[in-house]
Every structure is written in C-alpha cells, then in structure tokens.
Amino acid sequence: MVSRGRPRDMQVDERVLRIAAALMLERGYAGLSIDEVAEQAGAAKTTLYRRWPTKDHLAVAVVARLQADDEIADTGDIRADLVNYLEKIAAGLNRMRAAGHRQGPSAGTVGELVAAAARHEDIGRLTREQYAERNALALALIERARVRGELRADLDAEALFDQMAGALYYRVMITGAPVDRAYAERLVSSALEGNLTCH
Amino acid sequence: MVSRGRPRDMQVDERVLRIAAALMLERGYAGLSIDEVAEQAGAAKTTLYRRWPTKDHLAVAVVARLQADDEIADTGDIRADLVNYLEKIAAGLNRMRAAGHRQGPSAGTVGELVAAAARHEDIGRLTREQYAERNALALALIERARVRGELRADLDAEALFDQMAGALYYRVMITGAPVDRAYAERLVSSALEGNLTCH
DNA sequence: TGGATTACGCAACTACAGTTTCGTAATTGG
DNA sequence: CCAATTACGAAACTGTAGTTGCGTAATCCA
C-alpha cells in the first residue's frame, strides 16, 4: 500500500530548489519570489505550494541544502576541537551570504530564518531539534574533556557553549563583523582561559 | 527659515506608535498591519508613510520606544557590574515579547528587526551605531577593571563582550531558553573564571 | 492679501504571498 | 478495463505593503 495515485515529479523539487537558491543568494530573502521561481522552473504555483506550504518553508529547505552537516572530531585537544567546531558553524553562516545585502551579508538571511521559525511552529520545532542535536555533540566534546581533566570539574557546559556559538551569531547578525578562524581562536582562548587576573 | 508650510500633527505620531505597539505586542510583527493602524489612528495611510517609509521603519520606532536606555553603573566590582549590564540587555529583549508567538516569545521580533536592518541601509546604520555606543560603555567598563587590576592585562575585551551579549541573543533567538538574572550570573562566572583546569 | 510650501485625506493602483476551483494526467488495485 | 487516488496546470481570487495623483487645509513670508 505504498504510493497510490500519480507520483510526484522529483525533477520539479530539484529545479525549484536550485532556482530558489540562486535567487536567494543573488537578491536576498525578499528577492525570492514564488511566482518567479514557479515560472523559471516551468511549474505551477500550486505545485510548489504542495511541497512547501509557505515561502518560509521553501527558504528553510534551500538553506538546509547549503548546510553541510560536517563531522565533529575529538582529537583529545579541547582547544583545537572547539576552534574547528566554531569554524564549521562560521562557515555555515558565511555560506548563506546574500549578494545584494548590506551589513555582514548573511545577517539578513539568518534573521529571516529566525523570524520564520517564530512564525511557523513546525519550522521552529525542526530548527530547534537540529540545534539541540548539534549542541549535544559539542556538549559531549566538552564533557569528555572535563572527564579527562583538561577542563575544570565544575564548569557550566551550557554557558560555555552558548558563549562561543552566541558570539558568532551576534557578530553576524548584530555587529556585522566577520566570523572566521582567527575570530574562533580568540573566542576559544577567552572562554577557556578566563579573564580574571591570575592568582 | 524654520518650518515652512503646514506643520505636522504630532498627535498622529503618538497615536500611531501607541496603536502599533499594541498590535505588535499582541499579534507579533506579521500582525502589524499598516492599514489597520491607520484606520485605528484615524489617519490616512499616506500620512503614516510620510513619517515611516516602510513597515520596518515603523516597527523599529515602536521597539525603540520600548527600550529604556538605562545608565550603566561602575561600582568597582566588575562581576556585579557585568551581571547588571547583561540583565539590562536581557530585560530589553524580554520586553519585545510578542504574545501570540511560539518559541521564546521575543525571538520573532528580534529576528524581524535583524532582517529589517539588512533590508534597509538606514535602519542598519542606525542600529549598528546604537549597538556600538552600548558596546563602548561595556568595553570602557572592562577596560577600567583591567587597569585597576581586576581583570588580566592581556584580555580580549571584544571577544569577552561578544561572548556574553551573544549568548543572550543566541538563547533568545535560537534555543528559545529564558534569559534572566540567574543566566546572566552563570555567563559572567563562566566568562571571567574560564574553563581550564586550575594549575 | 496672496503665493509658496508642506501636511492631510481619499481613492485607485501595482506587486506578491497564499488560496481556491476545476479540468486533466498518471498511477495502483481490483 | 475501471475506479479510486494523487499530481499537475491554469486562472481567478483575497489580503497587505507600498505608490501615485489630486483636491484641500494650514502655515510662513513678502
């Protein structure tokens, strides 16, 4: 009892996502027009709406394809592992860069996605799950480093992770400053070594 | 040569901002309709657009009125000062809570504002200036603590501030977890004391 | 008083997201 | 082959942001 009725044309999905990605990266979120995507893909609007119930859903799908879900390495050197991890997050953020946009280019796209997650329960649930999954990997990394004695026994892993990941998002969305490997190293140094005078 | 022609009716500004704030806090950003605001304020749409060229501009004005620009205290205790500072940022974020919205309520509004700043150069410039101004106060606070020996001489003030402020924004927008005084204290502790094993 | 200037209200208009209706095409199961 | 089911395309429709044109009201300056 699988797949009754006329099957979906999978080529439509592919064409639409490709065209939507091109429009979005070139003209930003606002420049992504359902009418235009449908026309360029040679499909009716109703066909698009059957797959993605809103423009937000389509945009999320487009961005999801841009985000390579990389492996997270545990080399035993917590500093190097965290830097690599943050660099991957930064790369994902930089990848949604919209050409025509001012202020640290990907800010607009990230902001729109946050707004989309707030507008639609399902998108919010989905993205929160994905973030939780990603965070769990980082928290496990931190926990292992704590167990083997690299990190202090009484650390606040959640605060530590929020600090580092948050700084990246803050930079991209608020200050518009670049996020790259050099910045990731500064973050890890500051977070690990602390800022009080040595005693 | 001041004020030629018919003067603007300032009561319109007041009524519009009040009504827009009510709509936005009750129904969220998407629930803020220019037509509805104009009707409830007893003004024509053109009158609104003369003051705020887009809905984004009106929304920014509404949120700006919600943000009390508090004083930042320098008591000589950097830990307490930072906690108070972060708590004020958190209060500002919590204040844009939109009733009808899922996921850590103010996430949607903050995301929309980030998107608005990316869509319009003037809004982007304005908000970045305001953030820079606020950050300068925090950076000065940190610098004074460094000079008087409370903080380490070689600290990275920018990274330190980004970490703490970023964690608040990250929580609000991404994980949807609450930001309050207790969380501010955890952040300051983690950031100041560091996370390496004590030597 | 009158002209220049700016604000206001009204109505019609465009653009785009999203919906609905309906006729048609492709597939499965009996 | 036939019925049920699902996909597709086309067109008309609604709602809202934003624009435009125009007649009118209020103010300043000469």
Q: Which CATH superfamily is domain B69-193 in?
A: Tetracycline Repressor, domain 2 (1.10.357.10)
Tokens (6 digits) for B132: 């820079």
Tell me if A108 sits within 8 A of A98, measured CB to CB: yes
Which residues on chain A are in Cβ contact (under 8 Å) with B103? 117-118, 124, 128
Q: What is the 3-state secondary structure (H, E, C) of chain B?
A: CCCCCCCCCHHHHHHHHHHHHHHHHHHCCCCCCHHHHHHHHCCCHHHHHHHCCCHHHHHHHHHHHHCCCCCCCCCCCHHHHHHHHHHHHHHHHHHCCCCCCCCCCCHHHHHHHHHHHHHCHHHHHHHHHHHHHHHHHHHHHHHHHHHCCCECCCCCHHHHHHHHHHHHHHHHHHHCCCCCHHHHHHHHHHHHHCCECCC
Which residues on chain B are in Cβ contact (under 8 Å) with A168? 166
Q: Which residues pair with A151 in a beta bridge?
A: B196
Chains A & B: contacts with CB separation below 8 Å: 210
Q: Which residue of B has its CA nearest to A133?
A: B175
Q: Examine the pLDDT at B100 and tell me if it is beyond 60.
A: no
Mean pLDDT (chain B) is 92
Closest CA relative to residue A195, chosen from B128, B141, B18, B181: B141
The model's confidence at residue A97, banded by pLDDT at 50, 70 and 90, is confident
The model's confidence at residue A1, banded by pLDDT at 50, 70 and 90, is low
**B7: Cβ–Cβ under 8 A, 6 or more apart, which residues?**
none
B168 CA: distance to closest CA in chain A (Å)? 7
Choose, out of A27, A63, A162, A185, the residue to mutate when testing the contact with B (most B CBs < 10 Å): A162
What tens digit of pLDDT does each residue of A110-144 get? 999 999 999 999 999 999 999 999 999 999 999 99
**How far is the C-alpha of A19 from the C-alpha of B45, rounded, in Å?**
36
Sequential DSSP letters for A97-132: --TT--STTTHHHHHHHHHHHHH-HHHHHHHHHHHH
Average pLDDT over residues B183-195: 97
Q: Examine the pLDDT at B107 and tell me if it is beyond 80.
A: yes
The pLDDT of residue A69? 78
Q: How far is CA B42 from CA A68, A196, B36, B39, B65, in A?
A: 52, 57, 10, 5, 21
The pLDDT of residue A2? 66
Closest residue to C4 by CA to C1' distance?
Answer: B5
**How far is the C-alpha of A139 from the C-alpha of A101, rounded, in Å?**
34
Identical fold, B10-64 and B69-193: no
Domain ranges for chain A: 10-64, 69-193
The pLDDT of residue A39? 95
Q: Which residue of A has its CA nearest to B183?
A: A159
CATH class of A10-64: mainly alpha
Q: Which residues pair with B162 in a beta bridge?
A: none
HSE (side-chain half, CA atoms, 13 Å) at B31: 17
Average pLDDT over residues A65-87: 92
Q: Examine the pLDDT at B142 and tell me if it is beyond 70.
A: yes
**How far is the C-alpha of A83 from the C-alpha of A186, rounded, in Å?**
9
Question: Would you call B195 and A155 a contact, using CB atoms and an 8 Å cutoff?
Answer: yes
Average pLDDT over residues A72-87: 95
Mean pLDDT (chain A) is 92
The model's confidence at residue B98, banded by pLDDT at 50, 70 and 90, is low
Average pLDDT over residues B25-44: 94
Q: Which of B119, B171, B173 sits opposite A30 (nearest CB)?
A: B119
